[in-house]
Structure 1
Amino acid sequence: MDDLSALQYVAIALLFAWSGFVRSGLGFGGAVLVLPFLLLIVNDPLVFLPLIAVHQILFGVWVLLRARLAQDADKAARGADWAYLRRALPWILPLSLLGVFGLITLPSRVMSAIVYLIVIAYSLGYVLNLPVRSRGSVSDAALLMLGGYFSGSSMIGGPLMVAVFASHVARERLRDTMIATWFILVSIKLLSLVIVGVDLQLMHHLWLLPCVLAGQLFGERLHGWLLAADASRFYRALGLVLLLTCVVGLGASLR
């Protein structure tokens, strides 16, 4: 990522600001809603995933600490639902580790194509207003395992796991619970990447962290709006943009 043009660096900065915005606003999407755009700039997930992983850890801690330190009665009821998280992790963690192995061993073009195909499926659900829903304990387990694998391989398993968590966790606690989940999964993923010697792009954190912080602060406003409003139009527009982006990116990856 050291030989890009000035315009490409500006685009990356804006996309990481977008990453912070959606992560803070939705509690997920810091990877799934930004990685397809980043891959149009550099078609290698291993370039960007370490950056996204570090940001998820740092800002996940920040959001959780803010929720923990909140003193007023309304915010005191918020925070991660650790009881449910302990029940969900045994389904998620083994497949997440398997996904990390796939990320490390598969060629970058193959991983990029997989990312685009998965996000196309998500975006179609948003456009057609057909969200992923869990329909019982068996589908809970299947979605958690599949979400764990996608999170391990490319950090885009959020929508699948949210579908399960949303049926077991109070709405006002869902975002913080998902952020706690990402913190655990991403910490394991980052450690695995360090062990195998993947470049963590440490120098690029110096200029990307302020971009993510700006997006994170604006995302707090989005979170409040989503809690109080019907967000179907927002998701539909987001899905359409993702769909078009992924079709273009998939075509480029398959050439």
Structure 2
Amino acid sequence: MAPKYIREVVNKLKAVFAAASKLRLINVNPLAGYRVTYSIRVADVVDTRLFESDLAELFTRLGAVVMPVQMLFVLMMMFGTRINETRLARWEHFAGDYWVIPASNAKNKEEHRVPMTESAKALIQHYKCWQLKHVGKRAYLFPGTSGAISIRCAHDWHTQIRFKHFTSHDLRRLFRTIVADLGVDTMIGERLLNHALPVLLRKYVKSTLDKGMSLALEQYHQYLIYRGFSSVAPEILPRSSVKSENGQTLTASGWL
């Protein structure tokens, strides 16, 4: 087991034993005062944060990995979705102008409708064609041996990026930071991340805020394109603006 994992387990056990001791279910708390560092050496926490200045390098690393891995992280970057919401995505969830994340896939157990920009639609269609050609028809965007890839497999894909050991949550934080810097309203930003709104807002704001979310995502995706995102996924650009040679669209390595 990794030292970090052991530390997390011990901390959970400490909380359980402390609660049991407080309720007098046990006479002695065997982990009272115990620290993991007494038994094993826990490495310093690595700074995995992503910043806007990392985008160019991140795009380069994404462009070097195989298509499914690339697409998983591209979707999380474009929409700020959680890793579970993304890995469990099915083709039927992409209907028209929305990516509908079912309540069963969402952390807060509430359905989340994410507006699709034209860039996102082009990207999804391109990936669907790639999957049909190289994998075959599947129900999931990221198929495993049975159903979607496992959460462990999705986490393991991080190692293929080889950049700052970032997590899916780091992508969400970067997404939220850029959206805020672009001047997007706080409530819109929170809805994009499918965060629960404060009670007062839930009571008086009945709109799903689709229009504001759509405009915010359009602005954000254009920002990514301006920063070089099209080098990873050239299909997100209008065909008129993509250079062609011999009648074929030039694409980044791995996309065809």
Asked if these proteins are the same fold (TM beyond 0.5), I'd say no
TM-score normalized by structure 2?
Answer: 0.25
- The structure that has the greater radius of gyration is 2
Structure with greater strand share of residues: 2
Structure 1-normalised TM-score?
0.25
Greater helix fraction, Structure 1 or Structure 2? 1
